[in-house]
Amino acid sequence: MANLNIRSKQERTYQAIVIGSGISGSWAAKELCDLGVKTLMIERGRNVEHIKDYPTTNLLPYEFEHRGQIPQQIQDENPVISRCYAFREDAMHFFVKDTEHPYVQEKPFDWIRGYQVGGKSLLWARQVQRWSDFDFEGPARDGFAVDWPIRYKDIEKWYSHVEKFAGVSGNKDGLATLPDGEFLPGYELNVVEKYFAEQLKKNYGNDRHMISARCAHIHGNADYYAQQGRAMCQNRNLCQRGCPFGGYFSSNSSTIPWALKTGNLTMRPDAVVHSIIYDEEKGKATGVRIVDRLTKETEEFYADVIFLNAAALNSNLVLLNSTSNRFPNGLGNDNGLLGKYVAFHNYRAGVSAEYEGHAEYTTSGGRPTSGYFPRFRNVYKQETDFLRGYAAGFSAGRGVRTNTESVGMELKNNLLNPSEYGPWYVGSHMMGETIPKESNYVALDPNLKDEWGIPQLKISVDYDDNDEKMIKDYIEQMSEMFTKAGFTNIRTRDDKRAPGLDIHEMGGVRMGKDPKTSLLNANHQLHAVPNVYVTDGASMTSTSTQNPSLTYMAFAARAAHHAVAESKK
């Protein structure tokens, strides 16, 4: 028996373990495997294989029983996930339903999750804007959170590294606030979007820009991506179903199959992580304890280095639940700050309008992206009564107007022979930086556990006065920009959504220079347990305004190379 156990332990021993298979985890695994590291990837959900497990990907609209709508009973039972824009009949199988994985909302928080191989990389909005030093220097300049231990120069080459492989389309815009990268040909702004960009230049000098947003879609260099088994984006805009072309970056289409091809990757889906095992004699982490999702049996895996990429809040949960004599309050949590300083992006407000100009034009075909406003508030100096600022999405489009007032043959003719175009419709939504605060936190619920015996996460995150001022400013500024551009019928909204629905929750395991005030060092290692790396949203010291996934990819790749270099010392 003893021998069997030893062999069994050897069989469950790898050089590295990556917890999580989403965007950041799959990047860590891909880099480790490329560097020859025998890697185990642990995923709590089921396996989802590229193409094979995209059941709705080629369905036509009439093949959905409710034409995309989610039935009322499912909405009633799952109010949180039903508020997510992408939770529709075609992609509902990739989202966690409220009833499946309950959590505790000390304050309202819409926690949007995707528990499967690939995680939310199947579902993301694929927007990939780089950070600049205006972002990394924010906390130090404005006196909140702690100073980031890294700057743009530390991450620049890793942005390039991941952009090239993932496939990022964009234009060289030459903006200091939004550095250019390794771009495939960008997508075109339409005639009204271009008009608006020109109006901004005219009305605001060189202060405000609206560009075509960089997106993780293959729009050129097809031979290079064929090596990954991926093809050009076909502009289907059905991304959330999983793309049979691999036209956008997902773990499932790109990094995971690539890592598997090296022969160094072992996948272990259906494994809910209970905790990271800490060996007090060795003074380091030695493995990961899991509970099988289906059999509920406990199993342990071992490795020299552990990457924690469970998605921001679940990475917090894993560390909080990894207790030992040395770390009674969670792994690496000597200063009591684990789970605190959680932040997110403020998506509450939007402004829309109509435009009567350019009436002779419309658009044709499809594109996977739209316009983007880099932050223009408080960039070079503090100029408003709130800290930081917001980016914004922007797009213009034109619909066909059908008169449906009548019934009978007249209605039928109107429906089948649409002839009249409506005015151009323009719309924008804000993406505001929020300030991480100790009072915005996650913790383990002392009583409630999930089906696998793991404490439920308690979330206590809210807006503050800075966010309210920013919403007001966004609405004022965007309305002014719209007015100056000649847009009419301007409508503003603040939908008062709970935090979380932005799906950009971050922090709790923040990076910093000082172990007294942060959890991770400049290389994403836990200060107190350096063979544990956290390279997902949990590691974020501040949030800036950009969609964060690209930065997680770059962090994961950089940290993987660091771990391998350390192991060779």
Partner 1 sequence: MNRRHALRHIALISGGLALIPSCDFSKDDILAAYQNLKVTISQKALLGAISDTIIPAGEIKGALNLEVPDFILVMVNDCFTKENQDKFTAGLTAFPDYAQKTAGKKFESLTTKEKEELILNGTKLEGDDTPEGIEKGNIAYFLNSTKRFTIQGYMASEYIQTEIIPYSLIPGEYNGAVLITDLQKPRING
The contact set with partner 1 (CB under 8 A) reads 58, 60-67, 69-73, 187-191, 193-194, 234-238, 360-367, 400, 404, 406-409, 411-412, 415-419, 421
Q: Which residues of 158-177 are buried (b: 16+ CB within 10 A; e: fewer)?
A: bbebbbebbbbbbbebeeeb
Q: What is the DSSP letter of 225?
A: H
Q: Cβ of residue 352: shortest distance to partner 1, in angstroms?
A: 19
Q: Which secondary structure element, helix H or strand E, spans residue 104, and what is its range?
A: strand 104-105
Q: Work out how close the CB of 419 gets to partner 1 at its nearest, in angstroms, rounded to a whole number.
A: 7
Give the shortest CB-35-to-partner 1 separation in angstroms: 38
Sign of CA dihedral 352, 357, 363, 369: negative
Residue-wise DSSP of 392-439: EEEEEEEEEE---S--THHHHHHHHS--EEEEEEEEEEEEEE----TT
Of 6 and 415, nearer to partner 1 (C-beta) is: 415
Residue nearer to partner 1 on the CB measure, 104 or 231: 231
Min dist. Cβ of residue 65 to partner 1 (A) = 5
Nearest approach in angstroms of CB 412 to partner 1 is 5
- CB neighbour burial string for 457-481, b if at least 16 within 10 angstroms, e if fewer: bbbbbebeebbeebbebbbebbbeb
Smallest separation (angstroms) from partner 1 to the CB of 188 = 5
Q: How far is the CB of 84 from partner 1 (least distance, A)?
A: 17
Residue with smaller CB distance to partner 1, 85 or 361: 361
Give 440-475 as a DSSP string.
Answer: SEEEEEEEEE-TTSPEEEEEE----HHHHHHHHHHH
Q: Where are the beta strands (DSSP E) in 450-569?
A: 455-460, 488-494, 506-508, 532-534
Contacts 24+ apart (CB under 8 A), 287-292: 287/13, 287/17, 288/17, 288/19, 288/42, 290/42, 291/452, 291/453, 291/454
How far apart are alpha carbons 519 and 339 in whole angstroms?
10
Smallest separation, CB 267 to partner 1 (Å): 31
356 or 385: whose CB is closer to partner 1? 356
